[in-house]
A and B are shown apart, each in its own frame.
Chain A
Amino acid sequence: MLQAIKKVVFLGDGGVGKTSLIRRFLENKTSNEITVGVDFRYVKLNDTIVVLWDFSGQERFRALIENLVSGASLIVMVFDLSRSKTFFNLFKWAEIIQRYLGDVPVIIVGNKKDLDARLEENVLKDTLSQLPLRVVAYLETSAKTGENVSTLFSMISKFLRTKKVTAPIS
């Protein structure tokens, strides 16, 4: 008998650190290579079997994403705290999610916290509240130092089990 397998999709612009977050959690390493198309990793979070679908953020692979995101239980949308463009591009990613997935829960992650370049609090909150998505949590991480990476995966695990997380956006 097959156990339920959850699909968690990582999306966001190229170079924001999606693969590094996954590798930091699974292998305690980061990644300097771009993801070509899509990569997937298997992980057991508590008793939940999860396949992490790590999509390339490069524009040329966008067509690949459109067909493969369906069936996701949760989306992790990552941006780079030091590049505001990647934050505002979350709207583009939101369009893809709306078009191909509908009302799927989303965790927003601001990565590269170690660079100490922060968005203004009010800009961050206003923009997040305008995203046409069911955002269930917002978290700032650093794949480089490992800060909050395990918190992110605990959040994913908890959400998949309970459909609730402990750090919703205020």
Chain B
Amino acid sequence: MGVFRMSAIRDAYLANLSQVQNILKKLLFVNKGIKAIVISSFDGTPLVSSTSDPRSTALLAAIAATLHNVAEKAGNVAGSGGLKKIVAHYVNDKIIVIAVNHSYNVLVRASEETPLGVILRDLFMLIDKIHKLVTSISR
């Protein structure tokens, strides 16, 4: 019985994971400016990634946690209120981190030419679609 329950939980987890990965793949197909999406917990543990490269996934998850933590601290010190999103512009890329409901971070690495508004629109649509699935994965 216990084994059955464990395997049922594992199957549900894998099914959710696979659904989220499919949604990420579709988004990357539609928006060619997006290079990578990593969904991670606040401690930097990757949950789902659009890339199969473990190095880039691990480092982007760590970056998301660090950026989020520093930006949140800065907001607290400055009295600016809660953190909504972080946008960092680089020569080639932009990196966007959105903390969702105090439960996980979504990091997007996109080419610098891609309009920010388009990325944000796609990102919020993505979060709407995956929120329940990711919440169940991160538990």
Using Cβ atoms and an 8 Å threshold, which residues of chain A touch B1? none
Whether A67 pairs with B62 at a CB distance below 8 angstroms is no
A102 CB–B CB distance under 8 Å: no
B111 CB–A CB distance under 8 Å: no
Partner of A71, one of B43, B49, B58, B66: B43
Known pairs A7-B43, A7-B45, A71-B45; A2 contacts B66 (CB<8 A): no
Whole-angstrom distance between the Cβ of A76 and the nearest chain B Cβ:
16
Whether B66 pairs with A51 at a CB distance below 8 angstroms is no
Whether A5 pairs with B45 at a CB distance below 8 angstroms is yes
List the count of A-B residue pairs having beta carbons below 8 Å apart.
Answer: 57
Number of A interface residues at 8 Å Cβ cutoff, please give it: 20
Number of B interface residues at 8 Å Cβ cutoff, please give it: 23
Q: Interface of chain A, helix or strand or loop or mixed?
A: mixed
Using Cβ atoms and an 8 Å threshold, which residues of chain B touch A7? 43-45
| Bound CA–CA A98/B48 (angstroms) | 29
Known pairs A7-B43, A63-B73, A70-B43; A2 contacts B62 (CB<8 A): no
Whether B65 pairs with A68 at a CB distance below 8 angstroms is yes
Chain B interface (Cβ within 8 Å of chain A)?
17, 41-49, 54-55, 57-59, 61-63, 65-66, 69-70, 73
21 contacts between A and B (CB under 8 A): A1-B17, A5-B45, A5-B54, A7-B43, A7-B44, A7-B45, A38-B66, A40-B44, A42-B58, A51-B44, A51-B58, A51-B62, A63-B73, A64-B66, A64-B70, A64-B73, A67-B42, A68-B44, A70-B42, A71-B43, A72-B43
